[in-house]
């Protein structure tokens, strides 16, 4: 799993369950992956495949009625964290073993999250400056308002927003600017890892392109490691170093971005890429994937993609293929690539 690199985050065998009236659905099913430091991991796949559940599990913020049922999330902490409520020594820490107070010291400071729906994350009654003050005070109650506002202004400048607008309220900003403010808030405490969950879905394509460019630039400016969740593969082509393709709560392919776009290995990744328009070859027919993903409450045996897969074999209906390295640096969960 890209073992040779310096990993900021290592996820081992992570599973999340949602208990619903219809039964138990696995939102994340035995996922293992690494996120190397200062790299961007893109996470893509159809709606409902578990992208947000994976992102939120890393923050231990799985939405009700979800629950992390097993796994390890190993995060590398560079410097000792000491707050009024928690002390965490530097080194590798299993986030799933921390108590809630310790986890609160990690959220925002070490790992920050930009949620899928930014509109509901800003308080309409509070100025942008107040948002920054609250986030910074939650982590360090001794910080003075003035210092927090100074930091807010610096961040806003970096995001192309007039710093004097710290006194404005969220409704006084356009959608794109509000999303920039959300990104700024996520960066307020200088996190090491930023998880961005569909950060541009609610925006028009031009603003989306601008914001994605800015996110990519911020990564270098702030020395960030990123997990960028999106169903838009075009976006990942420009921003991600590696891409995890998810299908029905599992990772089916994990490859460097260039390799994936040049030659996707998993049949689902192949189908997904054929459904992305290619501006350099507009004559190419766009494909769609026949069928729909199976119901997670009644999971299929074997590889869950088998009813939609043009290469399905008997074994695919019986045995779940493990995610294994089939070419240097490329991991695939598909019987086509497994010996025997």
Among 34, 40, 52, 225, which residue sits at the site for ligand ATP (rule: CB under 6 A)? 52
Closest separation in Å from C-beta 235 to Mg ion: 14
Closest separation in Å from C-beta 310 to ligand ATP: 23
What is the C-alpha separation between 264 and 248, in angstroms, rounded? Answer: 18
Q: Select from 253, 134, 121, 96 the least CA-distant residue to 197.
A: 121
With CB under 5 to 8 Å by kind, the binding choice for 48 among Mg ion, ligand ATP, none is: ligand ATP
Asked whether 68 and 60 are in contact (CB, 8 A), the reply is yes
Place of tokens 């695919």: 316
Torsions phi, psi of 197, nearest 5? -100, 105
Residue 107 pairs with which residues in a beta bridge? 111
Is residue 52 at the binding interface for Mg ion, with CB under 5 A as the rule? yes
Closest separation in Å from C-beta 197 to ligand ATP: 7
Is residue 18 at the binding interface for ligand ATP, with CB under 6 A as the rule? yes
195: Cα within 13 Å, side-chain hemisphere: 25
Closest separation in Å from C-beta 325 to ligand ATP: 25
Place of tokens 């928690």: 86
- Three-class SS of residue 119? helix
Q: Which is nearer to Mg ion, 61 or 157 (CB)?
A: 61
How many residues bind ligand ATP (CB under 6 A)? The answer is 15
Asked whether 60 and 261 are in contact (CB, 8 A), the reply is no
How many residues bind Mg ion (CB under 5 A)? The answer is 2
Closest separation in Å from C-beta 68 to ligand ATP: 13
242: tokens are 């590696």
Closest separation in Å from C-beta 13 to Mg ion: 22
Window 220 to 279, contacts with Mg ion (CB under 5 A): none
Window 222 to 281, contacts with ligand ATP (CB under 6 A): 231
Is residue 25 at the binding interface for ligand ATP, with CB under 6 A as the rule? yes
Is residue 47 at the binding interface for ligand ATP, with CB under 6 A as the rule? yes
Place of tokens 């309409």: 124
What is the C-alpha separation between 328 and 2, in angstroms, rounded? Answer: 9
Which parts of this chain interact with ligand ATP (CB under 6 A)?
Answer: 18, 20, 25, 27, 47-53, 63, 65, 231, 296
């Amino acid at each position: 799993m890209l073992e040779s690199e310096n990993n900021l985050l290592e996820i081992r065998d992570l599973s999340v369950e949602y208990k619903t009236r219809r039964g138990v659905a696995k939102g994340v099913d035995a996922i293992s992956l690494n996120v190397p430091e200062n790299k961007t991991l893109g996470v893509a796949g159809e709606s409902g495949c578990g992208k947000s559940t994976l992102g939120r599990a890393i923050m231990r913020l799985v939405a009700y009625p979800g629950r992390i049922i097993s796994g390890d999330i190993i995060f590398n902490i560079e410097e000792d964290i000491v707050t009024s409520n928690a002390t965490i020594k530097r080194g590798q820490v299993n986030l799933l073993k921390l108590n809630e107070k310790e986890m609160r010291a990690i959220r925002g400071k070490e790992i920050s999250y930009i949620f899928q729906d930014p509109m509901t994350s800003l308080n309409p009654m509070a100025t942008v400056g107040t948002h920054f003050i609250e986030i910074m005070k939650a982590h360090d109650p001794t910080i003075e308002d003035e210092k927090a506002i100074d930091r807010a202004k610096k961040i806003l400048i970096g995001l192309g927003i007039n710093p004097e607008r710290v006194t404005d309220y969220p409704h006084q900003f356009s959608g794109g600017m509000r999303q920039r403010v959300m990104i700024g808030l996520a960066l307020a405490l200088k996190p090491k890892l930023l998880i961005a969950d569909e950060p541009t879905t609610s925006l028009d394509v031009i603003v989306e392109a601008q914001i994605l460019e800015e996110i990519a630039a911020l990564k270098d400016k702030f020395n960030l490691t990123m997990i960028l969740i999106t169903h838009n593969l075009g976006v990942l082509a420009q921003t991600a170093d590696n891409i995890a393709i998810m299908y029905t709560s599992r990772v089916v392919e994990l490859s460097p971005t260039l390799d994936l776009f040049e030659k996707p290995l998993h049949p689902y990744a192949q189908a997904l890429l054929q459904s992305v328009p290619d501006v350099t070859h507009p004559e190419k027919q766009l494909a769609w994937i026949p069928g729909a993903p199976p119901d997670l409450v009644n999971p299929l045996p074997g590889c869950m993609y088998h009813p939609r897969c043009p290469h399905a074999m008997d074994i695919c209906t019986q045995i779940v293929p493990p995610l294994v390295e089939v070419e240097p640096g490329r991991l695939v969960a598909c019987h086509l690539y497994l010996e025997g």
